[in-house]
Chain A
Amino acid sequence: MKNNGRWKKTVKILFARKIAAFSAAVVLLFIALAVFAPVFAPYDPNYADFASYLQGPGKDHLLGTDNYGRDVLSRIIYGTRVSLIIGVFAVMIACVAGTFFGMIAGYFGGITDDIITRIMEAIRAIPQIILAMALTAVFGSGIRNLAIILGISSMAGYVRMMRGQVLTIKQADYVMAGKLQGNKNFRLMFKHILPNSISPIIVMMTQQVGQTILAEAGLSFLGLGISAPTASWGGMVSDGRLFLLQNPVFALTPGVCVAVLVICLNMFGDGVRDALDPRLRGEV
């Protein structure tokens, strides 16, 4: 297959770095938790045992219970699902839409470019969390809506990056060669421009997953994200902060989980960037 060697080399460089390899392992662990949540979770996350509410960590409940007597550990494991699903889907929506609009804006230029760029500037001018709050207020929450809303509100960055990429690559001789051979606009864009401008987008994606998870946790914390009783990390922190004295673990562990996952995703993203950029790996 084409480019096989290149990808192999990139992966090799990526995992040769201890930090990148370590963070990849942590991320994989979280993914496994999310996928096999029913296997790992000792209890049903929504089973309320009012008899044993707000217990500290103990033998029955490793991380204790919350104010409804639900097992914190199980809720955290199920919360991983929510975080990762929203993180991944929101980033995918942002990336696909952003790349598409960015490519069109950069390729056609002129009025198309002006319209797309102005809209994206307007989106960027509003802080993401506030924009997302406004959108959830209108469209309602839930996993699907949250993913779409977070995707749209973080799309502008991709548009801008892709537009810049396309503006440079459009100047390359091979793009002109493609045009002179009779490629139509969209074929030229998808066959010649897209593959050559995608690597910074991939880097941006890996780095954005963490940001999005953070944003989702923030929304859930504010009560605008995942609604009860579905377990989500942001929501758990929000609930737990009222009972910090009775069971501090209840509020702290989901916070720590968010922090660890986001840090590891960011470090992994940095690793991907270094591995993909020939200048940083000392080849050019």
Chain B
Amino acid sequence: MEHLLELKSMETCFKTDGQLVKAVDNVSMYLDPGEIIGIVGESGSGKSVTMMSMLQLIGSPGKVTGGEVYIRGNEKNMLEYGPNSEEMRHMRGGKISMIFQEPMTSLNPVLTIGYQIQENIMEHLKVDREEAKKRAIEMLKLVNIPDPQDRFDYYPQQFSGGMRQRIMIAMAMSSEPEILVADEATTALDVTTQAQLLEMIRDIAKKTNTSVIIVTHNLGIVARFAERIYVMYSGSVVEMADTKRLFADSEHPYTRALLRAIPRLDDPKERILIPIEGLPPNPASRPEFCPFYERCEYRMDRCRECSKPGLQEIEKGHFAACHLSEAEKRMKAEEIAAKEIKKAPASKAGEEICLDVKNVRKYFPIYKGMIRKKIGDVKAIEDIDFYVRKGETLGIVGESGCGKTTLARCIMRVYKPEEGKIVFNGTDIAGFSDRQMHPFRKKISMIFQDPFSSLDPRQTAESIVGESLILHKLVKNREEYGKRVDELFRIVGLDPALKYRVPHEFSGGQRQRLGIARALSSQPDLILCDEPISALDVSIQAQIINLLEELQSKLGLTYLFIAHDLAVVKHISSRILVMYLGRVVEIADCEELYSNTLHPYTRTLLSAVPVADPLVEETRERVPIRGEVPSLTNRPAGCPFHNRCDKAGERCRREIPRLLDAGENHQVACFLYNQ
């Protein structure tokens, strides 16, 4: 059968510092009509660049240096046409549409969304304005934009992020493309929105027989939505198989390692993550042999001597790029399985309470006009009530805008809560001044989300890590300072010899280790981890999770672990707190929360998270969610979740449910459970 789209031996180079760097190296792939394929890989693996090269969207200093692109209905190699030729323009947007990651920037803010869709339709379908408008409204209806007739004349900033991405999809589909490329299209969105959108893309694709290419780093997404998967590593495809086979019986050591490294929502609590050691090779100094060699558990001397392995068919429709034979791999796999995996002993939560947050409320005033008259409040968090025991990890989950960060900042006393108590080790710090807080600063530390912006670029690693030691006079002299900094470096697995470097000379994972070392330096009791791994690559995440767990059991730390990735939270937390619109909706022990989910919001949240296993995905219960998170300035009266909840009754619309005990150390704020 003829493929709808075929890429053959694509090669793209970037010129940096006078050196040619191959970002895409001999990549071939194909796509059949109506098929949904996934391309997964870490950042820098070349997945996006491959797509951009296919559409000839690579700008200087990059250049497509080789390969062929064939699309059905055109005999000629598309790369032979110039990037600005009539044929290429017809291919882009006409035959192949693309949705990008950033919904905030991919729509033009000075044109109405209707106009932008209309233009696209007129350009590609050659219809008149009236016809195009009719079709544009139809498309908006297709992507479930309410009142499409009226919304046609809205500007992009009048929509939320999820809505804008829907509009992007409407625009992409409006020209009746044969192929839709979704390049990390849902990465910036919340899990519930992500699930809504991907399901919608799949339904539309199946209805219109459009093929879809999902480009993502999230294995869960491809497991749920893709039919066939390409795994990319360091600019090459290392494995290709249909989804079920890839997850059940992965062949390439990288894919296998990846599956062992990512936490999954359906994991048992005692599952051990096995990180992939090391870093992906720098494309400028990539070796001639297999690029995964340095990090591969299966490596043999032969791999180093041979040139880079090409894709080989292992069984029908299953390709992998590895020199090792089946027998060799099996042998190695046994060897690896036999290796003892050391698991950090679970830390024991004491009975003592480390942090007790009572009834905390934080509003931000909204001012308007010349004299800055206060016209209202953003009710960021309200009625927050929870405690954390010494030595345990409390996970805090919720979608963006639910007040997780505000809560963290109240506890760190960056903000002063309007009301409530924050009792830390027996002292209420809620009303403390900066001066009164000073002695407590060393006892509460924080690990930040973004390892690139949280380290001062002008300080050396040594002074970043050692700053607290000086500020709180924890060391007596220069010598002790040096010793303690070295020790901190070793604790987080960094070589102390690197301490004179500045942050940009470290990789993302190493930078996050520096951030952890900084947090540990003052020997804190409580560490707030604000999304500490979400900015890292999947293969690095496991390293950091394991490090955090190890440190906890070694040093008896208490963590408040804030994240939106429920699988990670489940893996690391002993108890979990779920927030929605500035309120706590459910708190329970980890296992209890996942096995006996009570609040309807938690249930939708959990079902929205894709699991990296197609077999599990098939059998999972789906809880659909409607609508979007309302704005904090006009929160619905009554239960904040009532207008999206299927079980909402009359009472939910009037009263706010309080957090009540539901037994088994499980608290929930829902009227369904407290008649």
Known A2-B500, A172-B453, A174-B453; contact A180-B446, beta-carbon cutoff 8 A: yes
A181 touches B441 (CB 8 A): yes
At the interface, yes or no: A176 with Cβ under 8 Å from chain B? yes
Bound-state Cα–Cα, A41 to B271, Å: 84
Distance between A26 CB and nearest chain B CB, rounded to angstroms: 30
At the interface, yes or no: A229 with Cβ under 8 Å from chain B? no
At the interface, yes or no: A227 with Cβ under 8 Å from chain B? no
Bound-state Cα–Cα, A140 to B230, Å: 79
Interface size class of A (residues with CB under 8 A): 10 to 19
At the interface, yes or no: B558 with Cβ under 8 Å from chain A? no
Bound-state Cα–Cα, A2 to B500, Å: 7
In-complex Cβ contact of A2 among B442, B448, B460, B472 (8 A): B460
At the interface, yes or no: B457 with Cβ under 8 Å from chain A? yes
Name the CB-closest residue of B to A6. B502
B453 touches A182 (CB 8 A): no
Name the CB-closest residue of B to A198. B458
At the interface, yes or no: A136 with Cβ under 8 Å from chain B? no
B456 touches A178 (CB 8 A): yes
A2 touches B438 (CB 8 A): no
Bound-state Cα–Cα, A3 to B456, Å: 13
Bound-state Cα–Cα, A177 to B471, Å: 13
Q: Mark A179-195, 1 if CB is under 8 A from B, else 0.
A: 11111000000011001
Contacts of A174 in B (CB 8 A): 453-457
Distance between B177 CB and nearest chain A CB, rounded to angstroms: 33
Number of A-B residue pairs at CB separation under 8 A:
63
Bound-state Cα–Cα, A191 to B467, Å: 11
Name the CB-closest residue of B to A172. B453
At the interface, yes or no: A246 with Cβ under 8 Å from chain B? no
Q: Mark B435-478, 1 if CB is under 8 A from A, else 0.
A: 00010011011101110011111111000000110011000000
B412 touches A181 (CB 8 A): no
In-complex Cβ contact of B441 among A2, A6, A173, A180 (8 A): A180
Question: Secondary structure at chain B's binding surface: helix, strand, loop or mixed?
Answer: loop
B450 touches A173 (CB 8 A): yes
Bound-state Cα–Cα, A172 to B451, Å: 11
Q: Mark B156-197, 1 if CB is under 8 A from A, else 0.
A: 000000000000000000000000000000000000000000
Question: Which residues of A from 149 to 201 have beta carbons under 8 Å from B?
Answer: 172-174, 176-183, 191-192, 195-196
Which of B438, B449, B458, B500 counts the most A-chain CB atoms under 10 A from its CB? B458
B446 touches A177 (CB 8 A): yes
Name the CB-closest residue of A to B442. A182
A181 touches B471 (CB 8 A): yes
Question: Secondary structure at chain A's binding surface: helix, strand, loop or mixed?
Answer: helix
Name the CB-closest residue of A to B471. A182
Distance between B632 CB and nearest chain A CB, rounded to angstroms: 20
B438 touches A180 (CB 8 A): no
Bound-state Cα–Cα, A115 to B454, Å: 31
Contacts of B456 in A (CB 8 A): 174, 177-178, 192, 195-196
Q: Mark B490-516, 1 if CB is under 8 A from A, else 0.
A: 000000000010100000000000010
Which of A176, A178, A182 counts the most B-chain CB atoms under 10 A from its CB? A182
A196 touches B458 (CB 8 A): yes
A179 touches B467 (CB 8 A): no
A3 touches B441 (CB 8 A): no
Name the CB-closest residue of B to A197. B458
Distance between A253 CB and nearest chain B CB, rounded to angstroms: 45
Pairs A-B, 8 closest by C-beta atoms: A182-B441, A173-B454, A195-B458, A174-B456, A173-B453, A181-B468, A182-B471, A173-B448
* 18 residue pairs from A and B, CB less than 8 Å apart: A2-B460, A3-B458, A3-B502, A173-B454, A174-B453, A174-B454, A174-B457, A177-B446, A177-B456, A180-B414, A181-B441, A181-B442, A181-B518, A181-B522, A183-B471, A195-B458, A195-B459, A196-B458
